[in-house]
Structures are given as C-alpha cells and as structure tokens.
Amino acid sequence: MLGKKSMLAMVVGATIAMSGAVQATTLKLSHNMDTSFPVHKAMKFMAERAKELSGGDLKIRIYPNGQLGSQRESLELIQNGALDMAKSNAAELEAFAKAYGAFNLPYLFDDQDHYYRALESDIGKQILQSSEANGFVGITYYDAGARSFYAKKAINSPADIKGMKVRVQPSPTAVEMIKLLGGHPTPLAFGELYTALQQGVVDAAENNLPSMTMNRHSEVTKFFSMDEHTMIPDVLVISAKVWKELPEHERNALSQAAAESMQEMRKLWAESEIAERESAEKQGVEFVTVDKVPFQQAVAPMYDTLKQEDPELYQLVDGLRNL
C-alpha cells in the first residue's frame, strides 16, 4: 500500500496536461472521509457534472480517506501549490480566515431553513471569498448537519456538562463554548476519539449523528442529546491561483457543478440522518430532547464579547442571525 508521502509525490506537479493542441485540466481534490459518506458522494457528483458541463475539458480526481493528509495538511498543501482542492469545514477554516468563525457561534440559527438561507446569502458568499489572501477560496458549502452532544449519560442542561471532559475541534469558539457550559474542552484528533471515549480520556463529544454512528462512537456512548448547538458547514475550497488560471468555460462549469452538488448534498444528508438514527436506535442509543434556552443563556456572553472585541466579525454574525 502506498504511504502518504508516496501518494503525495504522485499528485504534486502541474495540473494542466497537454496533448498536442488539446488541453485538458485535471484538478486533485483531497478529503478525509470514507467513500461511503454523503459528502464524498456529493463531491463525486460535482466532479461528474463539471466534466459534463465543460465538455470533458475539466476533470477532478478525488483522494478520500485522508490519503493526502488531514484537513489542515490539505489546506497547507493548497497554500504551497502542491494541491488544487480540498474539503474542509468552517471550524477548521477559522484559523485561516476569521470570517469563517461566524458559523461557529453556538445557537446562531433558529432552524434548518434559517441555516440554508445563510449558506446561499450574500453574507455566505462573502465568507467564501474571505480566505483569498491566504491562497484559497471557497466555491460551495456542504450541509454537515447540526452538532449535538453525545456521552455515556444524558445531557439535559448545562449542569450535566459541568466538570465533563468534552472533545472539541481545534476551534477557539468551540473551546470557549464548552468553558461557558461548565465543561473542560479537550481538543483531540477525530481519529483518536473512539478510543478516548472508550477509555475515559474524554467523557463526551459533540458532532452530528452520522459522524457518531458511522465512526462507531455509538458503541461506547448511548445518549445523544439534541441541543443542536451549532450548524457548521463543510466547505469546498480551491487554490486561488488555480481558480484564476482556469479557462472561463471551465471556471463556469465548476461553479455550476459545485452549486448543484450543494443541493445534491442536502438530499444525501437527509437520507443519511434517517438511516443513521435507525441504526443508532438499534444499538440502544437514546435520543434526548432538551430545552435549549438554558444553553443559549449560558453562552450569551460569547456574543457580547465578540461585539466588543471584533465589531467587524460581529457584523457578519448579526447579519446571519437576522436573515
């Protein structure tokens, strides 16, 4: 089996392949999910549509399962010119462009419809362009569901989180949220989470339902508390240099294919959530409906602090809240 370095060596190089007078473009896309995940299927759909819409001139080769590195490593490869595209998420991207941090505020959206309006809004499009100075731009969002808490005990209120070690993404916003809820935030690589939950290194985690079940976390945690504290989208990004150098018809084809794949992802995600809830229930997972108000009250200082310390970012957040 090829190692990560060997695989990377195969993809580093020019993305434009010349054959006589005929020019074909092949873009390399990295992500860290299994091919069974909805987001991989959405990106495969996008690649097929881009090829079709460009008349075969634009091809996208997808490298799943973290073959080329973690999400962060893939972003760094894009910055270094060694990779064309990657799937990341707004929490990870906050470290590269602060505008993405707007999505990370807890209890930002009223419901799923509000969330979808935000992704398609002018503010959403503005956020996608905010990382251009860092070497890449976003071309679409993918639904990644609502993140909720899951643990070995039911979490009904912030009082239940007090003192718990909660695995979070390496996001300053996520860390602060857990602190305000009374827990101990524990940044940890996602691949290490099953063992950490099993061995008690952490007491709880927060993610969407398919991530819980498809990574077998439902084997070691039996309570899924549906507080839906964040709806953080995945983001498909492309090298800013590569984007600018694409022929216009290929750029238009990719834009349309990406937009269509966003809608395809919504359908795939909805189907996945239904199937994974059934799977979780068969494994004995209990779904807990919670009163969100005490949680919202506990994290309210985050909005007050943001307004004082970063009025520019607060303006984006406030705009998203009021769509």
Close Cβ partners of 52 (under 8 Å, ≥ 6 residues apart): none
pLDDT of residue 4: 54
Quote the CA–CA distance of 93 and 237 in Å, as a whole number. 10
pLDDT digits (tens, 9 = 90+) for 164-198: 999 998 778 889 999 999 999 999 888 899 999 99
Q: How many domains does the chain have?
A: 1
Domain that holds residue 50: 4-88+236-273
pLDDT of residue 11: 52
| Residue 140 within any structural domain of the chain | no
> Which tokens is 210 given?
């398919």
* Contact between residue 131 and residue 237 where contact means Cβ atoms under 8 Å apart: yes
pLDDT of residue 14: 40
| Residue 251 within any structural domain of the chain | yes
| Residue 113 within any structural domain of the chain | no
| Residue 263 within any structural domain of the chain | yes
| Residue 257 within any structural domain of the chain | yes
Of 150, 160, 145, nearest to 286 by C-alpha is 150
pLDDT of residue 172: 82
pLDDT of residue 91: 85
| Residue 77 within any structural domain of the chain | yes
| Residue 70 within any structural domain of the chain | yes
Q: What is the CATH number of the domain that holds 259?
A: 3.40.190.170
Quote the CA–CA distance of 224 and 227 in Å, as a whole number. 9
> At 177, phi and psi to the nearest 5?
-60, -45
| Residue 15 within any structural domain of the chain | yes
Query: Which residues of the chain fall short of a pLDDT of 70?
Result: 1-22
